[in-house]
């Protein structure tokens, strides 16, 4: 079973990488971009066959290692 985790900085947390991308886009002539938030996508190939068990396991992985839940939020897709 495949799982995809999207990790993003929480609202209100400064995103210097996103700001650097926004500035670079403006430099390249893309003036209409008002803000950029940069995150990461983690894809997992799991042995688990039960979707709910897989979702619970991935949530534990996120809480333990994959996301810094103090400043990041995450979503999990199972499929």
User: CB-based contacts of 28: which residues, under 8 Å, 6+ apart?
Assistant: none
Question: Tokens 């996120």 identify what position?
Answer: 62
Q: How far is CA 48 from CA 44, 51, 57, 59, in A?
A: 11, 8, 9, 14
Q: Which helix (H) or strand (E) holds 57?
A: helix 51-61
Count of the separate structural domains present in the chain: 1
Regions of the chain where pLDDT drops below 70: none
pLDDT of residue 45: 98
pLDDT of residue 72: 98
Range of the domain at 29: 2-78
Contact between 14 and 38 (Cβ < 8 Å)? no
pLDDT of residue 23: 97
CATH of the domain at 51: 3.30.1280.10
pTM above threshold 0.95: no
The string of pLDDT tens digits covering residues 49-64 is: 999 999 999 999 999 9
């Amino acid at each position: 079973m495949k799982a995809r985790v999207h990790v993003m900085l929480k609202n209100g947390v400064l995103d210097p990488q996103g700001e650097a991308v926004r500035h670079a886009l403006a430099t390249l002539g893309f003036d209409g971009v008002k803000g950029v938030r940069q995150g990461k996508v983690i894809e997992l190939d799991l042995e688990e066959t039960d979707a709910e068990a897989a979702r619970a396991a991935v949530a534990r992985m996120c809480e333990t290692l994959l996301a810094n839940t103090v400043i990041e939020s995450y979503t999990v897709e199972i499929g």
